[in-house]
Copies of this chain bind each other. A is one copy, B any other.
């Protein structure tokens, strides 16, 4: 359980959480790696979603997953990029979330993920929720908590802190 006050204040910015799929760069699982190499070199995200032809979310792809196939005995070799497909190198074990948002779940998953993929009931890619937007909401919360709530140390805690000051 997380503090109700914190949860409510983070939820106040909820409408801003989603970066919709239309403006998130993605690649298809059957794209060849040379195409994905170009996309990931030009977009700002370190990882992007991989979709199938019906917009179902299939995995995530980073440049390192592609460049790893270029390391050979004779140095850096791009020749395999035109033969290999995205689905051969992508990361498949990716947590996804669905609407409505569960703040506690989002806060927990974002410890290990730079962004969370949002899917609909059919598994189609809806958009992403980034650490960036959640960090903004946490900043909003810690800046405004004492404006909307009275926050007082509990007696026992106060005694402990003063003891630690010695």
Q: What is the copy number of this chain in the assembly?
A: 2
- Asked if B5 contacts A145 (CB within 8 A), the reply is yes
Contact of A154 (CB < 8 Å), options: B46, B142, B150, B157: B150
Contact of A111 (CB < 8 Å), options: B4, B111, B132, B149: B132
Does A78 count as interface, using CB distance less than 8 angstroms? yes
Q: For A73, what are the chain B residues with a Cβ–Cβ distance below 8 Å? A: none
- Asked if B149 contacts A154 (CB within 8 A), the reply is yes
- Asked if B63 contacts A108 (CB within 8 A), the reply is no
A139 to B107, CA, bound (A): 7
- Asked if B142 contacts A2 (CB within 8 A), the reply is yes
User: CB-defined interface of A109-151 with B at 8 Å, one 1/0 digit per residue?
Assistant: 0111010000000000000000110011011011101111111
Does A152 count as interface, using CB distance less than 8 angstroms? yes
Sample (19) of A-B pairs whose CB atoms are under 8 Å apart: A1-B143, A3-B151, A4-B146, A5-B153, A6-B142, A37-B67, A41-B64, A42-B64, A42-B68, A75-B78, A76-B78, A76-B81, A77-B78, A108-B139, A138-B138, A149-B153, A150-B151, A150-B153, A150-B154
Q: Footprint of B on A, CB under 8 Å? A: 1-7, 34, 37-38, 40-42, 46-47, 62-64, 67-68, 70-71, 75-78, 81, 107-108, 110-112, 114, 131-132, 135-136, 138-139, 141-143, 145-154, 157
- Asked if A112 contacts B139 (CB within 8 A), the reply is no
CB distance from A25 to the nearest CB of B (A): 12
A151 to B145, CA, bound (A): 9
